Chains A and B, each alone.
Chain A
Amino acid sequence: MAHGPSKGIGRWLFTTNHKDIGTMYLWFSFAMFLLGGFFAMVIRAELFQPGMQIIRPEFFNQMTTMHGLVMVFGAIMPAFVGLANWMIPLQIGAPDMALPRMNNLSFWILPFAFAILASTLFMEGGAPNFGWTFYAPLSTTYAPPSVNYFIFGVHIMGASSIMGSINIVATVLNMRAPGMTLMKMPLFVWTWLITAFLLIAVMPVLAGAVTMMLMDINFGTSFFDAAGGGDPVLFQHVFWFFGHPEVYIIILPAFGVISAIIPTFSRKPLFGYSSMVYATAAIAFLSFIVWAHHMFTVGMPLTGELYFMYATMLIAVPTGVKVFNWISTMFQGAMTFETPMLFSIAFVILFTIGGFTGLMLSIAPSDIQYHDTYFVVAHFHYVMVAGAVFSGTAAVYYWLPKWCGKMYNETMGKLQFWIAFIAFNITFFPQHFLGLAGMPRRYADYSLQFADWNMVSSIGAFVYGAAQLLFLYNVIHTIVAGKPVSEPKTWEGAEGLEWTVATPAPYHTFSTPPEVK
């Protein structure tokens, strides 16, 4: 029974082991993160000064599109699926995921999806250039021919996400160790369970949207073409019915990670566990009924506009509860500030700022001014980068010793943190000013009054990009030459089943289920 990994490439191609698959997801997502980051560097380099210097506007649009798609679908989502693969079985005392072969499949189709997407860059007419939100008819009638490959790629990613989610739901509901009741599960497991339901609900909607595009482009239908009786705004409704839950799909697992790390380094149990669970569920529910707040300028009727404004404002309540709970967890703890904790604290601060601008954006009349400007760009990078990416980084530092039995270099970790934190703010804080001063987003070039802050932002972006190479170095250095650790519990204040198994975690864990009291 308890055999080790097989040798050679076959280990990775045919593996059904949750740890191997988790590792592959994490490396894949990091590779995509660097690719998407490279696109961002091209964008920021072009925006360094007014005027077109490096690329042409049509290529600029391809870069913004590919940056968004690769980061959302290739970097952030797979990163959290990787963490889920590694940690959920360990945290609930299960020997593996419930559906290990499907697990293998859901990972291995991803590289194909992104190979297809990346190959569009070399096609005649160029890569998709209609933004990661691909509004019709720019993405249908007026799209480059590569749009068909894009659609195919999205279908594959969707299939991968749906399989991954079904697997997580099946694992969490069926494979918990005796005594691990739902309300004893770590929050990371809870947030992923809820996220998985969100994914299962909305990925088919995305698939529907791109299929309608495919029909409009190739088979003469007019779902999104007014001339044939369709409606371009319908596309936006369908897209955001997927797209709004999607942003919570990205952030909920991040909440789970933060809810694990803050108690550990505060040496104090998470404050308000059950209210955290309810708040997560409330956010998930609300995420389905607010989608049109991305569309306050499309000309909805007044009543629709009012409804979506009120519903959106409501999201601030459960989100606030989360932040208050994290801070109460820190309050009167005995805190230390190792790298994972630093990233988590930065998460709380910057995510809260992103939450505030989100609240501002929910006020429909003000949104008329903010919409499609750099204010929105700043807002969602505060929640996506300082939110999802910072928490993913925190998670890697937090669990890396458990994964590979080596300790990272604390000084180097902190160095990366401070560079990333400062550079992040230099990059994105000025974008609030740019947006309020009137600079629209997705602009390849801009008027002179926007020049100063764009330059500042670009400089920050280059430094932030370099900090990611430092991250890569730190991780590889840890794996290759880190100080070996063997205590099951790496961190003094850590709680949970993952800290009861040996370090590094053996290839097979919990072959006999642990007893949870």
Chain B
Amino acid sequence: MRPNVKQLFLRALALFMLSPLAFAAQAEAEGSSWLKGLNMTQGVTEVSRQIYDLHMLIFWVCVVIGVIVFAVMFYSMIVHRKSKGYKAANFHESTSVEIAWTVVPALILIVMAIPATSALINLYDTSEAELDIKVTGYQWKWQYEYLGEDVQFMSEIATPEAEIYNQEDKGEFYLAQVNNPLVIPVDTKVRFLITAKDVIHSWWMTDFGVKKDAIPGFINETWAKVEKTGVYRGYCTELCGQGHAFMPIVVNVVEKDEYAQWIADKKQAAAAMRELASKEFTMDELMERGEAVYNQSCASCHQANGEGIPGVFPAMKGGAITTGPVEGHLDIVVNGKGGTAMQAFGAQLSEVDLAAVITYERNAWGNNLGDVVQPVDVLTFKQGQ
């Protein structure tokens, strides 16, 4: 008999369709790493492992049902063909069969629901946390606040624009690196209080099994107790505007004593910064610092060339406010403008950075006002409100 091309093709196709299952099975068996990136990872918390187990359980349930269903289907497609002279039967009803395939799946689902329920209960148990961290989403960065510790900082993407726009080679952690990672101690139950200042964001740490929406005006709770030190990377997962893909999350999980040292250093740095605010700076110092701050915090909207995006983000170059009285300029940068994407930077940047960026805006791109705004001016402005 001449090999039937069509049938061969169909069989190859069937194999192709089932092949991912074979890969998955093999990956399960070997725990091999070349298949990393095909499946969810187990993560480093009890919750993330529970989720992983549930994921694999429901996956295999689907595989088994799928294999049975598709086997019957392919069997009929191959055997029950008119071209082979097969005559159609005429049955078209069977109440008992219908009942069977209603009840059996329902039972499977009930069995599935049990571990899912217990995992969910565990996931929701934020009690007895040893450390509270408030996470605030902004367009397009995160703010971390160690409650009760007087430590807070912004965490922004550290991948340079030049990599994004293909002028430079992309680094290993392209779009997954930040200037200030969150630091937490290992084996410690950390409670995250998650909120946002503008639109909805979502804080996702894959390896912790944590994803919670950051909603302006509301505070969500979740928790993680990480079992292994290391650097973990995550992303914002709720569409939040043009910078959605550019506000990654990096968490540095360290030994407990290392953490204690780190937080002490942070507190000291905060004190030093307050100190610095009383110093007098030169124009050049401010311009240099200001450019860095501008590119980090403002350029995503107002653009590095100061020209903004017409209709969306106003130009800084020759703008009414950036070339107008300094009070107005201080006001919009410190207090932002409610109901627009222009945030209140007063709480995000230090006095030194605020003074620098305002000075920069007033003297860059041909805005040659010649004014110098000192940190003390910012402080006076803030206190005068």
Residues of A within 8 A of B (CB): 50-53, 56-58, 60-61, 124-126, 129-131, 135, 137-138, 141-142, 144-145, 225-227, 231-233, 266-275, 297-299, 302, 305-306, 309-310, 313-314, 316-317, 320-321, 323-324, 327-337, 345, 348-349, 352-353, 356, 359-360, 363-366, 368-369, 371-373, 429, 433, 436-438, 440-449, 453
Known: A317-B105, A360-B62. 5 other contacts (CB 8 A): A299-B221, A332-B76, A332-B89, A335-B76, A368-B210
Which of these, B82, B105, B310, B340, contacts A336 with CB under 8 Å?
B82
What are 14 A-B residue pairs whose CB atoms fall within 8 Å in the complex? A137-B199, A142-B199, A226-B217, A232-B217, A321-B98, A333-B86, A352-B66, A356-B62, A368-B123, A372-B237, A436-B40, A447-B175, A447-B176, A448-B174
Q: How many residues of B contact A (CB 8 A)?
A: 102
The answer to the question of B239 belonging to the interface, with a C-beta cut-off of 8 Å to chain A, is yes
Q: How far is the CA of A438 from the CA of B248 in the complex (A)?
A: 12
- Decide: B241 and A438 in contact? CB cutoff 8 A: no
Point out which of B20, B102, B166, B341 has the most chain A C-beta atoms below 10 A from its C-beta.
B102
- Judging by beta carbons under 8 Å apart, are B198 and A142 in contact? yes
- Interface: B170 (CB within 8 A): yes
In the assembled complex, the Cα of A186 lies from the Cα of B176 at a distance in Å of 54
- Taking the nearest CB of chain B, how far is it from the CB of A293, in angstroms? 13
A141 to B241, CA, bound (A): 12
B117 touches A306 (CB 8 A): yes
Whether the Cβ atoms of B73 and A369 lie closer than 8 Å is no
Alpha-carbon distance A389/B336, docked complex (angstroms): 47
For B87, the chain A residues whose CB sits under 8 A away are 334
CA distance A270 to B92 in the complex (A): 6
**Among the interface residues B165, B170, B215, B309, which one has the most CB atoms of the partner chain A within 10 A?**
B215
Interface residues of B in 77-109 (CB under 8 A from A): 77, 80-83, 86-94, 97-98, 101-102, 105-106, 109
B120 touching A364 by the CB < 8 A rule?
Answer: yes
> Across chains A and B, which 6 residue pairs bring their CB atoms closest together, nearest first?
A226-B217, A299-B220, A124-B311, A356-B62, A125-B311, A443-B245
- Compute how far the CA of A274 lies from the CA of B113 in the bound complex, rounded to whole angstroms: 29
A436–B235 CB distance below 8 A: no
Given A349-B17, A447-B173, A299 and B116 touching (CB < 8 A)?
no
Our pick among A273, A298, A348, A372 for the contact of B92 (Cβ within 8 Å) is A273
Check A444 against B211 for contact (C-beta < 8 Å). Answer: no
Q: Helix, strand, loop or mixed for chain B's interface?
A: mixed
CB atoms of A327 and B236 under 8 A apart: no
CA of A144 to CA of B98, assembled, Å: 52
Contacts of B217 in A (CB 8 A): 225-227, 231-232
Let me know if A360 and B59 touch, CB within 8 A. Answer: yes
CB distance A363 to B58 under 8 Å? yes
Q: Is B209 in the interface zone, CB < 8 Å from A? A: yes
Indicate with 1 or 0, residue by residue over B239-282, a CB within 8 angstroms of chain A CB atoms: 11111111000000000000000000000000000000000000
Partner of B172, one of A266, A345, A448: A448
Q: Is the CB of A226 within 8 A of B88?
A: no
Shortest Cβ gap from B380 to chain A (Å): 28
Determine whether the beta carbon of A269 is less than 8 Å from that of B120: no
Check B373 for interface membership: any CB of A closer than 8 A.
Answer: no
CA distance A352 to B204 in the complex (A): 29
Q: Which residues of A sit under 8 angstroms from B17, Cβ to Cβ? A: 349
Residues A61 and B76 in contact in the complex (CB < 8 Å), given A334-B82, A334-B87: no
Our pick among B123, B174, B200 for the contact of A135 (Cβ within 8 Å) is B200
Determine the distance from Cα of A452 to Cα of B137 in the docked complex, in whole angstroms.
30
- Cβ-defined partner of B311 (8 Å) among A145, A313, A349: A145
CB distance from B224 to the nearest CB of A (A): 12
Q: How far is the CB of B347 from chain A (nearest CB, A)?
A: 16
Residue on B with the closest CB to A233? Answer: B215
- A453 contact set on B, CB distance < 8 A: 37
Q: Which residues in A have their C-beta under 8 angstroms from that of B367?
A: none
Of the candidate stretches B48-56, B289-297, B326-334, B355-363, the one touching chain A is B48-56
Q: A314 vs B77: C-alpha distance in the bound complex, in angstroms?
A: 30
Rounded to whole Å, the gap between the CB of B336 and the closest CB of chain A is 13
Complex CA distance for A429 and B213, rounded to whole angstroms: 27
Find out whether the CB atom of A144 lies under 8 angstroms from the CB atom of B82.
no
What A residues does B322 contact at CB under 8 A?
none
Inter-chain CA distance A345–B102, complex, in Å, is 22
What are the residues of chain B within 8 A of A126 when measuring CB–CB? Answer: 311-312
Docked pose: A314 CA to B106 CA in angstroms: 7
Contact of A359 among B58, B124, B165 (CB under 8 A): B58
Tell whether, in the assembled complex, residue A368 and residue B209 are in contact, meaning their CB atoms are under 8 Å apart: yes
Q: Please tell me if the beta carbons of A353 and B66 are within 8 angstroms of each other in the complex.
A: yes
Asked if B339 lies at the interface with its beta carbon under 8 angstroms from chain A, I say yes
Does B112 count as interface, using CB distance less than 8 angstroms? yes
Beta-carbon contact of A366 and B82 below 8 Å: no
A274 proximity list for chain B (CB < 8 A): 93
A363 & B112 in contact (Cβ 8 Å cutoff): yes
User: B15: CB under 8 A from chain A?
Assistant: no
Which residues of chain B have C-beta atoms less than 8 A from A298's C-beta?
213, 215, 220
Q: Nearest residue in B to A371 (C-beta to C-beta)?
A: B211
- Closest A residue to B243 by CB, please name it: A57
Pair A144/B311 contact, Cβ less than 8 Å: yes
Give chain B nearest CB distance to A219 CB in angstroms: 14
> Across the two chains, which residue of chain B brings its CB closest to A445?
B245
Chain A residue, CB-CB nearest to B172: A448
Query: Which residue in chain B gives the minimum CB-CB distance to A263?
Result: B92
B216 at the interface (CB under 8 A from A): yes
Contact of A57 among B37, B47, B236, B245 (CB under 8 A): B245
Pick the residue among A335, A363, A433, A437 that contacts B82 (CB under 8 A): A335
State whether A58 touches B242 (Cβ < 8 A).
yes
A338 to chain B, nearest CB (A): 11
How far is it, in angstroms, between the C-alpha of A231 and the C-alpha of B216 when the chains are bound?
9
Is B143 engaged at the interface, CB distance under 8 Å to the other chain? no
Contact A335 B81 (CB under 8 A): yes
Q: Is B76's CB under 8 angstroms from A50's CB?
A: no
How far is A267 from B101 in the complex, measured between Cα atoms in Å?
Answer: 24
- Give Cα A142–Cα B199 distance, bound, in whole angstroms: 8
Give the contacts of B346-366 with A (CB-CB under 8 A).
none
A34 to chain B, nearest CB (A): 25
Say yes or no: is B39 at the interface (Cβ < 8 Å to chain A). Answer: yes
B-chain residues with CB within 8 Å of residue A369 when the two chains form the complex: 40, 48, 51, 55, 206, 209, 211
Which residues of B have CB within 8 Å of A353? 66
Q: Which residues of A contact B120 (CB under 8 A)?
A: 302, 305-306, 309, 364-365
Supposing A137-B199, A433-B37 touch, asked if A271 and B81 sit within 8 A by C-beta, the answer is: no
**B284 contacts A by Cβ under 8 Å:** no
Tell whether, in the assembled complex, residue B101 and residue A233 are in contact, meaning their CB atoms are under 8 Å apart.
Answer: no
B69: Cβ under 8 A from any A Cβ: yes
Residues of A within 8 A of B236 (CB): 440
User: A135 to chain B: which residues have CB within 8 Å?
Assistant: 199-200, 238-239
Q: Tell me the bound Cα distance from A328 to B93 in angstroms.
A: 9
Q: Determine whether B202 belongs to the interface, using a CB cutoff of 8 Å to chain A.
A: yes
Shortest Cβ distance from A279 into chain B, in angstroms?
9
- Binary interface profile of B, 38-72, with partner A (CB < 8 Å = 1, else 0)? 11100000011011001100110010011001101
Q: Which residues of chain B are near A272, meaning CB under 8 Å?
A: 92-94, 97-98
Given known contacts A135-B200, A144-B311, A449-B37, A317 and B69 CB-to-CB distance under 8 angstroms = no
Residues of chain B lying within 8 A (CB to CB) of residue A299: 212-213, 215, 218, 220-221
A271 touches B51 (CB 8 A): no
With A321-B98, A324-B101, A333-B76: A51-B311 Cβ-Cβ less than 8 Å = no
